[in-house]
Copies of this chain bind each other. A is one copy, B any other.
């Protein structure tokens, strides 16, 4: 396979283009991939002349999609933005993956309109990968792309999540759990009750999983609507951050504690960061016909580098093709369901 060509959207991040460009340079040094920088040419050239030892391809795109832009309007109007031009490159096959820290809704809208959905997918979902206490990772889908979902959407998330866990996380037989508020099958809201019924037909469904259990690592893929998934992900981050902060306060009061903390705090900060990394390090948008990785708006260079790593791995593993084939296995049954409901 040729080296994957990854388009990095240098605009729309909270920290400005310089930070993102540095992330792109780091990634190009670390991975066997070509990084194409999309954004304002003179801004990028200015940064590159100071930082990079080698040449990068630049995709000139002067317009910026901001966090305040309404997604569908931005997609329609800002044709000269790095977002629209970058996605268009992917569509034309001129590059293999798109990484962006811009407005999530706009990245979603541009991907849906210009790349389209994989056959069998009604709604693409954003997947986040976080570490569990067992050491292995858990994938949560959806964490914010679709705030209102139906059971079929969640079933599609389950299939896409399974393929991603197999291909990218290297888990041979991933177990799928349904985010719910109790372990019994009759627990939950209307969506959860309906989804439980659909997921039972998948071979790798292992039942409900509650908010406090996801980090325990009993399942590899957790499916939920984008609202609940977003709450879940941010709450872990909040719970971990609060614990670290609480610890720091306890330490400040006690000399002996300070001594131990001197050694412990770096480890704790690492853990807190790895929980946050799911939000900051690049989450794949699964279900569109192309590799699209969403980085957090506040990403630093390290987070951007990490997002590009996810993009490179997704291209190398032919993620889109694998999802297509994974869905094909389940499509006949899924199509039959659609007729009966």
Contact = CB atoms under 8 A, between A and B. Distances in A.
B263 A147 contact: no
A260 B181 CA distance: 37
B216 A238 contact: yes
B228 A227 contact: yes
Interface string A259-281: 11111100110011001000000
Chain A: number of interface residues, binned into ranges: 35 or more
Given A246-B271, A247-B267, A237 B212 contact: yes
Interface in A192-245: 192, 210-216, 225-228, 230-245
A168 interface: no
A272 B247 contact: no
A251 B242 CA distance: 20
A133 B249 CA distance: 9
Given A189-B148, A190-B148, A244-B243, A215 B228 contact: no
A254 interface: yes
Contacts of A235: 211-212, 214, 231-232, 235-236, 239
A219 to B, nearest CB: 13
A120 interface: no
A239 B278 CA distance: 14
A257 B263 contact: yes
B256 A271 contact: no
